Amino acid sequence: MKKLFYLFLSILIFVSCSDSGGEDPIDPPIEPPVENDRPKNMEEYNATSDGLRDYYFEDGYFDIGVAISPQSLDKPDEVALIKRHMNSLTAENAMKWSSIEPTEGNFNWSDADKIVDFAVANDLKVRGHTLCWHQQVPDWIFEDNGVEASKELVLERLKSHIAAVVGRYKGKIYAWDVVNEAIDDGGGYRNSKWYSICGEDYIFEAFNAAREADPDAKLFYNDYNATEPQKRYSIEKLLEDLISRQLVDGMGLQGHWNLDGPYLSRIRDAFDGYAALGVELQITELDINTGSATEYTSTIESKQKSAYGRYFQEFRDYKDEITSVTFWGLTDDHSWLNQPGKPNFPLLFDKNYDPKGPYFDVIDF
Ligand code: 9MR
């Protein structure tokens, strides 16, 4: 009996070790690129007017977008770069609650309008970002004459804000990040003001209000670290619930990634998991953090080339599921990661509006 027990135990150990289901220790080698006629260097880049949108959107992969501020549209160099490379725009901050409705019922539309009008005039799509978040959200929503507002009042304010914003851009904004970052890294609901006052109901009310205001808009749940298993399982549960009420169309994976991670196996599992639910996938805020290095050295450049190269290879492999990839900023110097005294180099274009090394990896396929 004892022998049998040990035999059973060793079989169990063998099986569990050989199918660890864990992450790859290192990412698998990248296939050597097939010869193509896309630019390989600055000289070839300057000799063509084609850009990312030609290689990805027009070739049947996915939209290529960028998050911008309205001030970008006053700068001819930035406008030229946007028109050459992008077919989709996101307002980096201009559509957030504190920008649009800083005090109750008083709407500032000018910055958001400027971006939408530019997009319409130049035949670019717009992703709306974001209707309900725990940041950039004014205090008045949660207050009522000096005390905490009731759940009913908060939900009323949420619904009327969403009706106004989505209603204004109906037919012009094709997709909305309705709720942003409602799940925390441990997989529970984020303990925001929204949650502490309304419980999870605010999520459903937000989606419902967006659906009512523009039934044709695609509605997304959007989050960071969406490839991390614990968080992913909770997001999947939330999506299932939203799907059963026909309130969601897509999952937005922000994509604030690093030179070394997430591992491709994690990304693949996440794409498979979300796509299996029947929603479309978008990478909504892509950038690759270069860490604490104060200069863009050749070592950092080569790591970033390989990171961008392998992530985009992965996106192409999932072209049937992924409908859009948006960069969180146009040039390194305007990235949220680039802080005074703490430079970062997360994007594909440098401060002179020139493509960096990784650009050529992204288009080399
Ligand atoms: O890039 C945005 C930065 O300019 C703002 O100061 C910040 C406010 O918290 O939000 C940044 O954008 C965030 C996005 O809206 C949601 N996902 C995380 C992004 C980076 O913080």
Predicted confidence band at 18 (pLDDT cuts at 50, 70, 90)?
very low
- Residues 353, 223, 280, 100, CA torsion sign: negative
Q: In angstroms, what is the span from residue 162 Cα to ligand 1's centroid?
A: 20
Q: What value does the mean pLDDT take over residues 26-44?
A: 79
The span from the CA of 42 to the CA of 348, in Å, is: 13
Cβ neighbours for 277, distance < 8 A, ≥ 6 positions apart: 236, 239, 240, 243, 251
User: 190 Cβ partners below 8 Å, 6+ apart?
Assistant: 134, 181, 182, 183, 184
Give the tens place of pLDDT for each residue, 54-107.
Answer: 999 988 999 999 999 999 999 999 999 999 999 999 999 999 999 999 999 999
CB 349 within 8 A of CB 329: no
Ligand 1 neighbour 223 (Cβ under 6 A)? no
Residue in 56, 30, 86 with CA at minimum distance from that of residue 319: 56
Buried b (16+ CB within 10 A) or exposed e, 111-132: bbebbbebbeeeebbbbbbbbb
Q: CA of 64: how far to CAs of 159, 179, 331, in Å?
A: 31, 22, 15
Indicate the length of the chain as a whole number: 365
CA distance 220 to 226: 13
Ligand 1, atom 21: nearest CA belongs to which residue? Answer: 336
- Reported as a pLDDT band with limits 50, 70 and 90, residue 35 is confident
Q: How far apart are CA 94 and CA 58, in angstroms?
A: 28
285 is an active site residue: yes
The string of DSSP codes covering 110-142 is HHHHHHHHHHHHTT-EEEEEEEE-SSS--GGGG
Structure tokens of 282? 């978008």
Ligand 1 center–CA 39 separation, angstroms: 32
**What's the pLDDT score for residue 33?**
54
CA dist 65 and 286 (Å) reads: 10
Rounded CA-CA distance 360/365 in Å is: 10
Question: What pLDDT digit, counting tens, does each position of 176-216 carry?
Answer: 999 999 999 999 999 999 999 999 999 999 999 999 999 99
Instruction: Please indicate whether residue 321 is annotated as part of the active site.
Output: no
C-alpha–C-alpha distance, residues 46 and 38, integer Å: 12
pLDDT in tens, 244-291: 999 999 999 999 999 999 999 999 999 999 999 999 999 999 999 999
Percent helix, strand, coil in the chain (nearest 5)?
Answer: 45, 20, 40
Ligand 1 nearest-atom number relative to CA 130:
15
Q: Is the pLDDT of residue 15 over 60?
A: no
Specify the ligand 1 atom closest to the Cα of 180.
16
Does ligand 1 have an atom closer than 6 angstroms to the CB of 101? no
DSSP conformation letters of 248-271: --EEEE--EEESS-S-HHHHHHHH
